[in-house]
Structures are given as structure tokens and as C-alpha cells.
Amino acid sequence: MLAGTGSDVGKSVIATALCRIFMQDGYSPAPFKAQNMALNSFATPDGLEIGRAQAVQAEAAGIPCHTDMNPLLLKPGSDHTSQVVLNGRPIGNRNAYDYFNIEGRDELRQAVNSAYDRLAARYNPIVMEGAGSVSELNLRDTDIVNLPMARHAGARVVLVADIDRGGVFASAYGSVWLQRPEDRALIKGIIVNKFRGDLRLFESGVKILEDICKVPVLGVIPYFSDIYIEEEDSMELQQKCGSAVSGKVNVAVVLLRHLSNFTDFAMLEHDERVNLYYTNNVEELGKADVILLPGTKSTLGDLMELRRNGVAQAILKAHNAGATVMGICGGYQMMGLSVSDPDGVEGSIERLPGLGLLPIDTVIQGDKITRQVGFRFGGSGDVENAPAGQCRGYEIHMGRSVMASGSDARPLNVLDDGTPEGCIADSRTCGSYIHGILDNSEVMEWMLRPYAGRRTTSVTDWEAFRQSQYDRLADHVRASLNMPLLYDIMKSDN
């Protein structure tokens, strides 16, 4: 288990690297995180939902993702409530106080333990990941993801500490010595992550950490920014906020309060023709060639906020001036004529008018559609004659959208089973429920063509690019860790 001194110390990325390293070394690894809190989720091959981080780690391990890799997923809907997804299916919304109350925890603990047991019967080793800080003393009795999970699995725990944020000695020392003796005995080593500068300057620091924590330092991993691995959640989005520039196609992603599945736009980040930036600044939206309305955990709440802060009007103004507007999932719903929530699935807002850019009406429903899909893209021609299965993506949504009668709009895509999907009003106005639609080069080329011509993109094979990044990450981490010692720790009986 990779446990952290805090959130965002790099546990997920190191877990991804180890999944790849163990696969390269001839093992059959699989990732596991008992409980994840993220709006960035993914659909498994059997149509269930897990956190995106474990899907990425499974891909690095060369295996299909499964709900046993992340049996419990919390999807925040507000500062105080989250949708609880258990074994891939939503079981309702919980406020934080009730969720972390000791009553009912045994049921969840049993569910995540059973998921681990099933996974461990199929794969070896299991690369486990903790959540947040390993030393949240107030939550220790209700914890089901950190050391209690390690105890159930008999896992060797490696503490990950982020030296870039400062305080590495205090955070590592406190994380070790605040544990109960039986839990402290599970911690077998420390990884110092995100080191900047000359590693020789920290040689004495390694010795100090080992002396005060009484466990070996397995390695010091240098900070990197040139290897692309999909992020677990939107903590880094503020670093991607920006503005329009000259000489490139300016693509603006509307920065929603409950933005989800921001990895839908990862391929655009790596296209040399594109300047991709996230913003809710009305002036910067007005400078964009393409405006993307992303998915959201709260369509009606975010739609109301867009009307309140002037972003809705800015999108319509930019569209009237010639910008392309494309919506994905919740963003697609917002582009329609209306969004209704008669059963209060999202909250207290029953109905709002949409942006009116697409002739669709959406009703939010309690049952969630979660599936991977193959589809034929129809934006650039006759969708009926496009090759079947040429494009791939996945759906995760709780709404149904229908086209208004008498409309001249047509479906944007046709799924491989013949079902029409999405809506396109004209070459500058379209939407779809399919996450990952822009990972398909023909869709992205169609969207950029009016602004960038017919030149080849900088990333032509997104799948090959991702695989190459996993290999680069594995090389980077392998070079920094004492792998023989790590293997010895994993194989030891103590």
C-alpha cells in the first residue's frame, strides 16, 4: 500500500508507475483503492463506474478495469454531500456527517474487504492506494481505506511524502509516530516524492529520515512535468486557467463549479496547434475560437450559476460572433431548450431553460447510464455510412435528452447498436453524452478544421501516446527507487 502524508503527494502516480513496473517484470499486478473521492470517473467494460485513477492504473497494468479495483466512489455534489457509488452503482446521496458516522460503517467495510479479496484471488501483486493523510486521528475509527484496509490485506505500507510542499521531515515523522504500535509496524518504508534540484543535497536528509522514522527510504523521486499521466481529480485545474493567445486555435473550457471528467480534453492539451485554457472570464470566452461546455455533477446548479455570473450570455455572444460551441454530457444538456429535474435527483431546482443552442429537452432521472460505447461520428458527413466501431468513448449520466419535434437538427453520432446519439444543429453547434469523444482524432480534426486547416495533429494515436507515457513514467520511477529492497519488503513475512 502507498499511503500518504497528505492529499496530492503523488500516491496515484506512483501507484500507476508500480503497476507498469510490475507488469514489465513479469507479474500480474492490479490496482486497488477502497474508497475514492472524485468527480472524474470511468465506465468499466461491464457498464459500471469507478474512479478514473484506478482505470488509468489498470491500463498501465495492461488489464481491463473492474469495480473491485475501486469498490467505493464518492462523487461530491456540494461542499457537504456526495453521491455514493458502491460496486459501480449509485446507492444514494449522503452528507459528510452521516457518511463518516460509525453507524453503518461495518457494511461498507465488509464490501470493500470483499472486493479486495476477489481482486487478490485474480492478480498478484495488488498495488493498493490509501486516501489523503494516513494520520487523520479523528477519522481513525471509521477509516476503511488506509491502515485498516492494509491490515485486512496484510499489506506492506510505504509512506509517500511530498518534499516540494515543504515540511517533509515533520510530515513523515508525524505520520509514522502518530500511529498505534500495531499500525506503525505495517509501515516498511518511505518514498520522498517531487524533489527539485541536485539529489546529492538530500543525501543527509535521507539518513535523517531513516534515523527518526526507523524505516528505510526506498527512494527520492525527482519532480517531473514532461510525462503525461491523467490526473485523479481537478485539483490541478487552477494551473490550467489561462487566456487566449495569437497564432493558435484558442479552445476555452468553461470552468464550472462541479466540473467532472476534465480528462475529456487531454488530447487537445497535446496538440501543438491548440491553446487550451479553462476559464469563466467572460472576456476570455469571447476570444475563443471553440468553447467547450464540460460534464458536471450538478447540471442545474451549474446552469443557474452560468446565468448568474454572465457566462451564459458570453457563450451565446461568442457563438453569434462565429465561435464553435460543443457540449459534453452535462454541458450537452445545458445547450438545449430546457433541463428538468421533477424527482429532485440533483436538488431543489425543478426546471431551468437551457442556452437554446440545440433543440433538445432533458429530464434528469434517478437511474444512471454507465457504459462504454463504439460509435460512428456524423459531424463531417453521412453518419450512416461511416465505419462501425471506428470511434470509442463512454457514457456516465443521469439524464435523458430528446430532440424537439420539427427540428432540422440530426444526431451527431450513431452507436454501434444503431441508436442515434447526441445532436448537431450545424457545423459550429453540437453536443454529445460521450466522454472521450475528443480522444478520437476524426472528431477533433472536424472541430478544429475551420480554424487550423487539414494539417496532421501532434498526437495522431492517443492510445499509443498514453502507453508510451506509462513506459516513461515507469523508467523515471524505477531509476529512483531501490527496487530490490522493495521486492524484498513485498516478499518478507514481517
Q: In angstroms, rounded to a whole number, what is the distance separating the alpha carbons of residues 407 and 388? A: 26
Q: In angstroms, rounded to a whole number, what is the distance separating the alpha carbons of residues 126 and 115? A: 12
Half-sphere exposure of 50 (CA within 13 A, CB side): 27
Which among 19, 65, 329, 391 is annotated as catalytic?
Answer: 329
Helix (H, G, I), strand (E, B) or coil at 442: helix
Residues contacting 338, CB < 8 A, separation 6+: 351, 352, 353, 354, 361, 362
Q: In angstroms, rounded to a whole number, what is the distance separating the alpha carbons of residues 265 and 263? A: 5
Helix (H, G, I), strand (E, B) or coil at 112: helix
Q: What is the DSSP string of 172-207?
A: HHHHHHTS-HHHHTTEEEEEEEEE-S-GGGGHHHHH
Using CA atoms, how far residue 158 sits from 184, 212, 214, in Å, is: 11, 16, 13
Cell, residue 284: 476570455
Using only C-alpha atoms, the chain has a radius of gyration, in whole angstroms, of 23
Annotation says 329 is catalytic? yes
Contact 422, 431 (CB under 8 A): yes
Burial class (CB in 10 A: 0-12, 13-18, 19+), 175: buried
Strands (E), 61-209: 72-76, 81-86, 89-95, 126-128, 157-162, 187-195
Does residue 125 have a cis peptide bond before it, meaning omega lies within 30 degrees of 0? yes
Annotation says 391 is catalytic? no
Q: Which residues are catalytic?
A: 329, 435
